Chain A
């Protein structure tokens, strides 16, 4: 048994050594040489990445991965990851890039690099089509639902004028139930939640009124890969001008890109 294990270990070491790229070769070069890009995507976070009815991964992030593969002219290998292991996968080079509704923060900046934003993820005020609320001040005298303790609820409490009625529910599901049942016509929530409501209950699809806080998604890649970073940013910029990203937003988030994205 031990002999078999050590043989296995030796085999892996050899395989790893064979794949080892020379020092300082940028990941972009090795991707182009191998003609495959390994992309880590979420498997449990609709609409960014989840299993479809045929159990194949589908979502905004998967479409983005395919877009990048096409722009580079390489095959895309989709690797399903979770929120916990997506960055370790990147660091151990099991994946070349991570497209997994990744938000940027200081802790992550220390270990990986981020591309330009490719997906809008924001918390905002959503409501039925007929209500006109363009800013926090226009919430005067209106009733809005929010989930107690969530970021958007805390921001809303700071921004909303004093005579706004904020109905705070204990969890996301109650807030959604309140909006869907018509108890409130405005809610403060994340854009993915709004998309989920729009999909399940098209009659009460929430329309964005204004954004409370931006927390867009970025592609994660290892540090010290300037060529890969530049190429990714180029592809993203190109996709923005050509309208491909807007199409993704409509398809998966059921909403146009927020202004200024």
Chain B
């Protein structure tokens, strides 16, 4: 390989890269929490709620899971202003990621809920627990334990998919990479570095989630 790697050319741009990294991390954390909340609500509504609500959730899930994320993002950022809702790029990014993760986690959590034996629910009701108590202590707790690995994978997928938000000028890690590349044309070094950053971020997130799983579900 004749090309000489010049990583030193990236050094002056350390602030853009760091800000991008921070933005990606915060975006992932916030939209993960919100997305799982949406997913939990959706899955519960679909399994236990009234039929009309279940159909609404089903429609939402089908639309989001069968369209590309970038199209959803562009719709929110470029399309909604025509309908009167103008969001800045960070809010649009967070919203798009939440809606996206919400749809996928709805299905994942619903699988977990349906795997909880009906007998457990009946036992809970016969012990005079309210519907919400049954949902919270019996159903969701067991559901999450079952589907935790699948959910962790989906979180990583969404985190890596956050790279797309650079397309609407949200200043994440990929935006930083693109900007630096357009200044010094060191595409090889920039994208190598940023790919490594994403790799480390994904590995870190995975081990954090594994640790969290161990604490929550007492090491299975």
Interface residues of A (CB under 8 A from B): 145, 148-149, 167-170, 174, 177-178, 181-183
Partner of B86, one of A145, A149, A177, A183: A183
- Would you give the shortest CB distance from A160 to chain B, in whole angstroms? 15
Partner of A168, one of B74, B79, B88, B169: B169
- Would you give the shortest CB distance from B190 to chain A, in whole angstroms? 13
Contacts of A148 in B (CB 8 A): 178-179, 182
Determine whether the beta carbon of A168 is less than 8 Å from that of B179.
yes
Q: Residue on A with the closest CB to B86?
A: A182
Interface digits, B67-93 against A, CB 8 Å rule (1 contact, 0 not)?
A: 000000010011101100010110000
11 contacting pairs across A/B (C-beta < 8 A): A145-B169, A149-B182, A168-B169, A168-B175, A169-B169, A170-B166, A170-B178, A177-B78, A178-B78, A181-B79, A183-B89
Contacts of B78 in A (CB 8 A): 177-178, 181, 183
Question: Chain A at the B interface: mostly helix, strand, loop or mixed?
Answer: mixed
How many inter-chain contacts with C-beta < 8 Å in the A-B complex? 38
Query: Measured between alpha carbons, how far is A167 from B77 in the docked complex, in Å?
Result: 13
Query: Measured between alpha carbons, how far is A169 from B168 in the docked complex, in Å?
Result: 6
B154 close to A (CB within 8 Å): no
Closest 10 pairs between A and B when the two form their complex, measured CB to CB: A149-B182, A167-B169, A181-B81, A177-B78, A182-B81, A181-B78, A148-B182, A169-B169, A168-B169, A170-B167
- Would you give the shortest CB distance from B73 to chain A, in whole angstroms? 11
Contacts of B169 in A (CB 8 A): 145, 167-169, 178
- Would you give the shortest CB distance from A4 to chain B, in whole angstroms? 51
Query: Measured between alpha carbons, how far is A170 from B169 in the docked complex, in Å?
Result: 8
Interface digits, B155-176 against A, CB 8 Å rule (1 contact, 0 not)?
A: 0000000000011110000010
Query: Measured between alpha carbons, how far is A85 from B164 in the docked complex, in Å?
Result: 39
Determine whether the beta carbon of A183 is less than 8 Å from that of B77.
yes
Interface size class of chain B, counting residues whose CB lies under 8 Å from the partner chain: 10 to 19
Name the residue among B77, B78, B169, B175 with the largest chain A CB count within 10 angstroms: B169
Contacts of A145 in B (CB 8 A): 169
Interface digits, B1-39 against A, CB 8 Å rule (1 contact, 0 not)?
A: 000000000000000000000000000000000000000
- Would you give the shortest CB distance from A189 to chain B, in whole angstroms? 15
Q: Please name 4 further chain A to chain B contacts, defined as beta carbons within 8 Å, in addition to the given A170-B167, A182-B81, sorted by A numbering.
A: A169-B168, A178-B168, A181-B77, A181-B78
Name the residue among A168, A181, A182, A183 with the largest chain B CB count within 10 angstroms: A183
Contacts of B182 in A (CB 8 A): 148-149
- Would you give the shortest CB distance from B130 to chain A, in whole angstroms? 46
Query: Measured between alpha carbons, how far is A169 from B73 in the docked complex, in Å?
Result: 14
Query: Measured between alpha carbons, how far is A82 from B74 in the docked complex, in Å?
Result: 34
Contacts of B79 in A (CB 8 A): 181
Interface digits, B137-169 against A, CB 8 Å rule (1 contact, 0 not)?
A: 000000000000000000000000000001111
Query: Measured between alpha carbons, how far is A148 from B168 in the docked complex, in Å?
Result: 12
Q: Residue on B with the closest CB to A157?
A: B183
Query: Measured between alpha carbons, how far is A148 from B77 in the docked complex, in Å?
Result: 18
Query: Measured between alpha carbons, how far is A182 from B82 in the docked complex, in Å?
Result: 8
Query: Measured between alpha carbons, how far is A137 from B82 in the docked complex, in Å?
Result: 31
Contacts of A168 in B (CB 8 A): 169, 175, 178-179
Query: Measured between alpha carbons, how far is A167 from B166 in the docked complex, in Å?
Result: 10
Contacts of B166 in A (CB 8 A): 170
Contacts of A167 in B (CB 8 A): 89, 169
Interface digits, B161-203 against A, CB 8 Å rule (1 contact, 0 not)?
A: 0000011110000010011001000000000000000000000
Contacts of B178 in A (CB 8 A): 148, 168, 170
Partner of A174, one of B82, B167, B179: B167
Contacts of A170 in B (CB 8 A): 166-167, 178
Q: Residue on A with the closest CB to B74?
A: A177
Contacts of A169 in B (CB 8 A): 167-169
Contacts of B81 in A (CB 8 A): 181-183
Query: Measured between alpha carbons, how far is A182 from B179 in the docked complex, in Å?
Result: 23
Determine whether the beta carbon of A181 is less than 8 Å from that of B82.
yes
Query: Measured between alpha carbons, how far is A176 from B199 in the docked complex, in Å?
Result: 33
Query: Measured between alpha carbons, how far is A145 from B169 in the docked complex, in Å?
Result: 9
